[in-house]
Amino acid sequence: MKRYLHNEEETEQFGAELCQLLPEKCLIFLQGQLGAGKTTLVRGFLRAAGFSGVVKSPTYTLVEEYLIKQRKIVHFDLYRLIDPEELEWIGIRDYFDQNCTCFIEWPEQGKGFLPEPDGVITLHNDGVGRLVTLTIKNRHKDNIITKKQ
C-alpha cells in the first residue's frame, strides 16, 4: 500500500489509522531518512491508542515503552547503535516475547539480532510531503492487518 502524506498532521493520522488496524502483538520496521516522519507516525499511533503525554524519539535512550489501556507499545530507535550485539544488552529478545506492538526505527542497525518483521513502513521525503509505503512481511498476512470489530 502506498499513500502520499502532505504534512505532519497527515503522517500522524496515518499512524492513528494503523492503531486501528495492527494487532496488539506485531513487529513493524520503520525506514526512512532523518526527518522523514518515523517518530511522527508513532506519535499518531500512540495518540490514537490514548496516550496524551510527550512522545519523544528514543534516539538517545534506544527504547521508549508505553502501557496504554492494557496495550503495550514499544518504540526503538537504533540510529546510534554501534554494534548490533548491543541489542542483547538491552534485552531486546524479551520485548519480542511479550504481547506488544514494537516499532523499530533504523532496523538495519540491528541486522542479525532482529527477527523478521510483520511489516515494514518506509517514508520518503517527496517535495513538501512524504510518500509512505506499507509492506506486509508476515507469512500470516491475513492476521497482521485486520480491522478491529
Residues 102, 25 contacting (CB under 8 angstroms): no
Q: What is the pLDDT of residue 122?
A: 96
Give the chain's domains with CATH numbers. 23-110 (3.40.50.300)
Q: What is the pLDDT of residue 14?
A: 96
Residues 45-61 have a mean pLDDT of: 91
Q: What is the pLDDT of residue 138?
A: 58
Residues 130-145 have a mean pLDDT of: 69
Q: What is the pLDDT of residue 89?
A: 86
CA 134 from centroid of its chain's CA atoms: 11
- Cα–Cα nearest to 136, from 114, 120, 148, 116: 120
pLDDT band, residue 56 (cuts 50/70/90): confident
Is the dihedral angle over the CA atoms 73, 78, 80, 83 positive or is it negative?
A: positive
Residues 87-104 have a mean pLDDT of: 90
Judge whether residue 149 has pLDDT over 80. Answer: no
Q: Of 30-44, 56-70, 99-113, which gets the smallest average pLDDT?
A: 56-70
Give CA–CA dist 34/86, Å, rounded: 22
Q: What is the pLDDT of residue 140?
A: 47
Q: What is the pLDDT of residue 127?
A: 83
Q: What is the pLDDT of residue 4?
A: 93
pLDDT band, residue 134 (cuts 50/70/90): very high
Residues 54, 46 contacting (CB under 8 angstroms): no
